[in-house]
Amino acid sequence: MVHLTNNARILINIKNHINNLELKEREKSLLSEDKPTINFSSYCYDYKENLLDDIADRLDVGAEKYHEEVPIDKADDNERNNVYESYEELCDTLVYLSAALLRKKEDSNNVDMKVINELFQNILRSTILLMGEMSK
């Protein structure tokens, strides 16, 4: 049996979720007559490997900075709460995206602000849902 590191397990999990999401989005776009603001399946195809590379880099930076990989099992770290930490990170993301929306075209770096707005709304929705789940 091959023992995978926590960070390797996380990357495999994210890759599997991206692949599943890509398939669902393709099916949805084939069945839908409405054209979505964001062609998500195209983004998945074009950028998923870059995203996985960026996530792998972030995991490496974290492992070096904190001298450990992200804990998964309670045996790794019984005190950490990955769900709450992800909530905090989502809040940070909302702050940065809100600032980008407020700045608008001053420094858009060729980013479509409609896409940023839709992304902001989706992350806001997800953050509220996570908050609700944590309060149960």
What is the reported pLDDT for 64?
Answer: 94
| Whether residue 129 is found in the same domain as residue 92 | yes
d(CA 5, CA 12): 11
Does the pTM surpass 0.85? The reply is no
- Domain count of the chain? 2
Kindly report, residue by residue over 53-111, the tens digit of the pLDDT: 999 999 999 999 988 899 998 888 888 899 999 999 999 999 999 998 888 766 656 67
pLDDT value, residue 124: 96
Note the pLDDT of residue 2: 82
Q: Please give the structure tokens belonging to residue 60.
A: 């490496």
Pair (48, 101) in one structural domain: no
Nearest residue to 22 via CA among 39, 44, 37, 38 = 44
Considering the domain architecture, whether residues 28 and 94 belong to the same structural domain is answered as: no
Which domain covers residue 112, as residue numbers?
81-136
Are residues 72 and 86 located together in one domain of the fold?
Answer: no
Domain check: are 5 and 69 in the same one? Answer: yes
* 87 plus 28 within the same structural domain: no
DSSP state of 90: H
Convert the pLDDT of each residue in 1-18 to its tens digit: 788 999 999 999 999 998
Same domain for 41 and 62, yes or no, is yes
**What is the spatial distance between Cα 50 and Cα 48, in angstroms, rounded to a whole number?**
5
